[in-house]
Amino acid sequence: MAQKRGDGEGTVFQRPDGRWVGVISLGFDVQGKRRRKTVYGLTQTEVIEKLDNLKQSRKTNAKTVYGKDTVAAYIHRWLNDDIAINRARKTLVGYQQTFKKHINPYIGSIKLRTLEGEQLIAWQAKLARNKISNPKRLFSIAVLRSALNKAVRLRLIQFNPLSAVDKPTVETKEVKPLEPEQCHKLFAACQGHRIGDVIVLAAMTGVRKGELFALEWNAVNLDEGVLVVRKTLEELKELTAKEPKTAAGKRVVSLDPVAVAALRSRLRKAQEEGFDPAQVQIVFPNTRGGYLRNSNFDRNVWYPIRDSVGIPDSFVFHDLRHTQASLMLAAGVDLKVIQKRLGHRKFETTANLYTHLLEDAQKKAVSKMAKMMKKTDPKRK
């Protein structure tokens, strides 16, 4: 008589000739038919051990779900059911655009379970021949890797074939902050514009552009000399103020006298144009009292002011953030303090960005120390 074990453990029985037999279900094949495996042994114990080994192998190595999806069908589902729920809207849009332009036209029709490393190498080669930049190619790899890693965890595929693909080289832009003399010229040029003070505040606090655009007066204390970063502006088709992406992004930023003066200047201008904080909470609004758009700000404010003082086009608004880090390092501020001020989640991010600036600051510090020791050495007159 057959001995039925627990669910998923198989059935064991003895044949008339004395041999023992075990049968276990291994799920379904690509046509939807049940797959069974039969093992034999001289004893019941031997057969049970073989069934247990098959069950363990099934858990650790074998594919238990055989998807019929194409790459396109699977990624559509992944974007809609996973990324749309668990990531920021801006992240979802970026993933969707990359999939539409750089993944789907090349490999979308391939069956997910048959996707191989050689096909992915050819995919990247086609992108390169089509003059797709290395940063965009690298991002396409990152998006596909995230999707395929989830497919592995869902047991839709056995391993991630992207392991065969080499990442394209992307040169990191060297951070070139403004010198103090350039800062003075830039700050002077900002005074004449209604929201030019945002440029001064960016350079003197290191607060991100989106954080400055979402800044409200109730997050500013001019008497105490602090502002609190609580929100950042997300720009898609609509402008939405939302919480920073990481906990480190929420922070209190101390203001030096130059930053306080810039905010007092902006407050005066706001009151003069009828945007008193009691009516318009946004510190740096557009001319209608709403949130600023990136492109409008760059075209109408940042570019004209930057160009008027001879700062090169290669210097973007985000580099004002690097300027703040440079000024802090020159003042001898610890890198850990700078990390918290800039809102970096990881210390490594700050260290990697500003290693060369730190080296320059250390050289200047050593030089100052040497001069100080020379003055205090009684043997040197």
CATH number at residue 301: 1.10.443.10
Residue range 167-226, pLDDT digits in tens: 999 887 777 889 999 999 999 999 999 999 999 999 999 999 999 999 999 999 999 999
The edge-to-edge listing of strands for the beta sheet with 251-254 is 220-221, 226-229, 251-254
Shared domain for 323 and 222, answered yes or no, is yes
Shared domain for 195 and 321, answered yes or no, is yes
Based on the structure, what is the number of domains in the chain?
Answer: 3
Q: 60, 86, 107 — which closes off a domain?
A: 60
Shared domain for 226 and 330, answered yes or no, is yes
CA-to-CA separations, 151 to 60, 63, 84, 139, 271, in angstroms, rounded = 15, 11, 17, 19, 56
CA-to-CA separations, 142 to 98, 138, 162, 234, 380, in angstroms, rounded = 10, 6, 10, 22, 61
Shared domain for 198 and 335, answered yes or no, is yes
Shared domain for 349 and 214, answered yes or no, is yes
Structure tokens at 9: 């453990």
Largest Cα span, the chain: 110
Q: Is residue 171 in a domain?
A: no
For residue 141, which of 105, 90, 102 has the smallest C-alpha distance?
Answer: 102
Shared domain for 83 and 202, answered yes or no, is no
For residue 161, which of 115, 123, 125, 99 has the smallest C-alpha distance?
Answer: 115
Residue range 332-354, pLDDT digits in tens: 888 888 889 999 888 887 777 77
Please give the chain's pLDDT, 381 residues, in tens: 555 555 556 789 999 988 999 998 877 665 667 778 898 988 998 888 888 877 776 665 544 444 578 999 999 999 999 999 998 888 999 999 999 999 999 999 999 999 999 999 999 999 999 999 999 999 999 999 999 999 999 989 988 999 999 999 988 777 788 999 999 999 999 999 999 999 999 999 999 999 999 999 999 999 999 999 999 999 888 898 998 888 888 999 999 999 999 999 999 999 999 999 999 999 999 999 999 999 999 999 999 999 999 999 999 999 999 999 888 888 888 888 888 999 988 888 777 777 666 666 566 666 666 666 666 555 555
Reduce the DSSP state of residue 73 to 3 states and report it. Answer: helix
Q: Read off the CATH number of the domain in which 111 is found.
A: 1.10.150.130
Name the residue range of residue 94's domain: 71-164
Shared domain for 203 and 152, answered yes or no, is no
